[in-house]
Structure formats: C-alpha cells, structure tokens
Structure 1
Amino acid sequence: MQLIDIGANLTHDSFDRDRDAVLERARAAGVARMVVTGASREHSPRALALAQAHPGLLSATAGVHPHHAVEYTAECDAELRALHAHPEVVAVGETGLDYFRDFSPRPAQRRAFERQLQIGVDTGKPLFLHQRDAHDDFLAIMRQFEGRLGPAVVHCFTGTREELFDYLDRDWHIGITGWLCDERRGAHLREIVKNIPSHRLMVETDAPYLLPRTLAPMPKDRRNEPAFLPHIVAELARDRGEDVAVTAAATTATAAAFFRLPD
C-alpha cells in the first residue's frame, strides 16, 4: 500500500525527540506522503519549514485553528498569505469552528474562519476544515462563499449521518481518522462510512492525537503517529465492505488529486 496521511501534526513537541525516526517508520509502513497540519501562527511556519526539509515526502497546510482564533489579527492574516505563496503549502487551514471547547470566543472563531475562507478565494487552494458542535454556523459561513471556493475537506469527521450528507451534498471531501476505532465515541462512524463515495474519501491520523484504540500492541507513550495509518485504513475497509487494497488505492488517489500533489 502507498498511503497519504492528509493530517499529521508533526510540528508537535512530542515529535521533537525522534521526528526523523517517525518519518522513517511511516515510510516503512507504506505512508508515501504526509500533509503537515499548520494550525496556528506559531506552527504554520514550522509546518512549511518541515515540508521544505523533506520534499517529496511532506507538504503543509497553513491556517489558524478555531482554538487559536483570538490570535487572528491583520498581521496574522498577512503572515498566512505570505506562507501561501510557497508551493509546499497545499491547503488553507486548519480553520473552522469548534463550539465543543470554546477555547476562543465564538465571534472570534467566526471572524477568523471568514478571513481564512477569503484566503481560499484569493489563492484558489483547497480548504482543510474543522467543525465540532458548530454545524449550523459552519454551513452558514460556508454559504457566504458559495461558488468562490476550491475543494474542501472536513477533516477528522466525527459527526452525525445528517452532517455527513450535508457535506457530501455540497461535494465536500471527508477525512477519517482513528476516531473510527473508538468503541465509546466512534461506533456510529462504522455504520455511515460506507456512504462516502471513494472519490470524496481520505484518511489521516491527526497524530499525535487520536491513537486508534484497537491498535495492538499500544505504544507505551500513547502517541499516535503516521505509521499507524494502515491500521485505520484496514478498519475503514472492513466497515465499507471493501478489500483493503481498494480502500488504500482510492484514498491515495483522492488525496493526491485534492491537494494537487506532484507524482
């Protein structure tokens, strides 16, 4: 299998001690490319630097996660636009709304989201989106930009069947993580992932978060990493009633096209 992990937080400090080894384990496991998530003013430049240091293996996104929306100033907007001038930055985000934790006030989240969607309009780049417990406001803001945006992926999808079909009806893509493997929170995903067309489906680890609970043996430090992506793909294939090679090939082709990754 040659897989693409569309969302890995490889700038996280938990990787500082062994980042090169993490990348090597991913390659050995069949993860041919990884998209490093940029989710703040601090980490988006780091994501770009990491992608530049590993051409052909890593690409990056650049954005501000809703948790960090209060840092979205005019200066931040200019910084993000400068990052998007680099070809290694392949998507706008992570951006969106998160009303589950409300680490930033909701008005600040909505403003930061709108500003980043405008970057999407201006650059034509794909969107790497986050939504949790904010479905109605999320759709309302996206409607304001209807017809002007490039392709979008709702990454780390954990929502309901109704939310899934709302996104698919808008031709958005869906990113599936190890949340699928969580018997406490992800059981409903096992029932609905079969409804995602293969040309709208992508896979990701969201490392170091969301370690698949069905992984055996579990790493002692409980850190997720891209090398575990094949496990997620195997579980996803089973739930979709597909051979794992079919799911792997389809998600890889979809991700390569979505992010416009070079051969």
Structure 2
Amino acid sequence: MSAYTYIDIAVNLLGSALEPDIEEIVQAAATHGVSPLIVIGSNLVESANAIDVCKQYPDKLYCTAGVHPHHASEWHSGSVTIQAELCKMPQVVAVGECGLDYNRDFSPRPIQRQAFREQLELAIALQMPVLMHERDAHDDFLAILSEYRSELTGALLHCFTGSKVQMEAYIDLGLHLGITGWVCDERRGQELAELVPFIPKERLLIETDSPYLLPRSMRPKPKSSKNKPEYLPYIAQYIANLRGEAPDEFAAQCYQNSLAFFNLSQHHG
C-alpha cells in the first residue's frame, strides 16, 4: 500500500490491452494508492462506453469524452451534439482527448484542425476543462489554442514530450502539462527529464498513459510490457527526484492539482 494518494489522469482502459482486466486494474491501482483513474475517451463510441464503465466503479473511475485526432476523419456535422450530451454526464470530467497529431496523420490535417476547434468551442460552451494531445504539430496547435485559451476554464496537454521552447510556450499560455513514465527512459526521455524541474508546481499533473509507456527504469522489470496505473507512484517518485522535491510533498501537490483541474474536489472532499 502506498503511503500517498494519486490520481492517474490518463488511462487507456478501453480499446487497449487493459480492457479484459478492468476489475483487476482498478483494484490493483487502488491498493497502490492510485484512485480515482481518469479513463480516456478517444472517439464518441468509446466515450459512451467509458461512461458505462465509470458507472460500475463510482468514485473510482471518471472519464473524458472526445475525438482524438487519429479519429478526426469520423468527425461530422452531428458529432458535437452527441459529444455535448456525453459531456453532460456526471462521470465526464473533461472534453477530450482532442488535438492534433501530424506524426501519424491517421486523419487529414484540415479535419483534425476542424475537430479540434469545435471541441474547444464545446469546452467553452460547457465551461469544462479540455484534455489535449499534440504530436509534431506544435505551431498549428499553439495557434488554434491561443484563439480560445482565454475562454477555456482549464487546458491540459497530456503526455507532454516536447522541447524547452515548446514547454515555455505552453506554460505562457497557461496550460497544465501531463508527464508520463517517458521521463524514466534514459535514452529517449533525457530531454524531458531535464525540462521537468522547470514546470511550475501548480501546473504539473502525472499520468501513466497505460498500457503504453511502461517506465523503462523500473526494477525489477514488470513481467508484462503493459504499463498499469498501479505504477504511477514509481513515476511520481522519479519525477520528484528530478525536481529535488520530497516525494510526499510532490505527491500531495499533484493530487491537489488533479482535484482542482478536473473539479473532483466535490467528489473527493
């Protein structure tokens, strides 16, 4: 049992290798002090399914409702109406995951931009925070977000792995940044490890993005390559060390940041 409590702000519980073991994943996470989990909705069908799963685990699971840029080609004139209905459900704590991905380009870029804009407009209309994704699309992402930022209640770029210049631009725009176990990879995560100490403490959120991004530095190595929410305390300790902060204070700060960002305080007084 972990001495501290954590909220994993990005878990790909549906449509991934975790889906067959939801009960076990949620219980193991709670045993390690990681509860609640925020389940990512990456398209409208998955978002509706996520709401149903959350209903089975009250106070242990919440979710987002949105259309990830990989699914932006599914966006149509009625999408925002459907999404708005989903977002009004009490289980939904953020609009998203939405944004731009020019790395994989699974959807044409113009429709990615349109779906992103319309979801930002929805977040403003509903006065809900937005959980976002950006990969290799910094300039367009920043330009679009800048138009809407002043009206958004909260804006989180999850799984941030960008450069110092990008980080500074996002912090200047008032974003929260989600940091994953990518930072535990001595090779690929080196730049991020150097940047993490410069993120203002009230803007930093922690996440596993499981089942992806298993922290490479974990010893003993987990038998499975699947990342799990129960590993969040390891990531938190690693980041606290990078920042030169006491693990208990860092954990408490991230927990408070998460409650405030997702307006969970009323659920978890």
Counterpart pick for 2:154 among 144, 147, 151: 151
Is 2:193 aligned against 1:190?
yes
Is 2:169 aligned against 1:166?
yes
Is 2:39 aligned against 1:36?
yes
Contact 1:237–1:244 (CA<8 Å) still a contact in 2? yes
Normalising by structure 1, report the TM-score.
0.97
Q: Alpha-carbon deviation of 1:147? A: 2.0
Aligned letter for 2:137? Answer: A
Deviations 1:27-74 (A, max 9, x none): 111102111111112211111112121111111100011011000112
Aligned letter for 1:231? Answer: Y
Contact 1:181–1:232 (CA<8 Å) still a contact in 2? yes
Q: Alpha-carbon deviation of 1:221? A: 2.9
Distance in 2, Cα, partners of 1:111 & 1:16? 30
Question: Equivalent residues in 2 for 1:106-121 (5 A)?
Answer: 106-121=109-124
Counterpart pick for 2:54 among 51, 54, 70: 51
Normalising by structure 2, report the TM-score.
0.95
Which residue in the other structure is 1:134 paired with? 137
Deviations 1:82-108 (A, max 9, x none): 101112101010000011111111111
Distance in 2, Cα, partners of 1:164 & 1:16? 32
Q: Alpha-carbon deviation of 1:77? A: 1.9
Distance in 2, Cα, partners of 1:32 & 1:245? 16
Three-state SS of the structure 1 residue aligned to 2:225 is coil
Counterpart pick for 1:101 among 86, 101, 104: 104
Three-state SS of the structure 2 residue aligned to 1:60 is strand
Cα distance change of structure 1 residues 249 and 144 upon mapping to structure 2, 3 Å threshold: same
Contact 2:146–2:173 (CA<8 Å) still a contact in 1? no
Distance in 2, Cα, partners of 1:191 & 1:169? 19
Three-state SS of the structure 2 residue aligned to 1:153 is strand
Which residue in the other structure is 1:245 paired with? 248
Is 2:258 aligned against 1:255?
yes
Contact 1:155–1:174 (CA<8 Å) still a contact in 2? yes
Q: Alpha-carbon deviation of 1:113? A: 0.3
Which residue in the other structure is 2:204 paired with? 201
Q: CA RMSD in A?
A: 1.1
Deviations 1:2-43 (A, max 9, x none): 001000011134223321111111011110211111111221
Which residue in the other structure is 1:211 paired with? 214
Three-state SS of the structure 2 residue aligned to 1:4 is strand
Distance in 1, Cα, partners of 2:85 & 2:221? 40
Aligned length: 263
Contact 1:95–1:116 (CA<8 Å) still a contact in 2? yes
Which stretches in structure 2 are left out of the alignment for 5+ residues? none
Distance in 1, Cα, partners of 2:28 & 2:167? 32
Is 2:127 aligned against 1:124?
yes
Deviations 1:168-212 (A, max 9, x none): 111110100011011221101111111111111110000111111
Which stretches in structure 1 are left out of the alignment for 5+ residues? none
Runs of 4+, deviation exceeding 6 Å: none
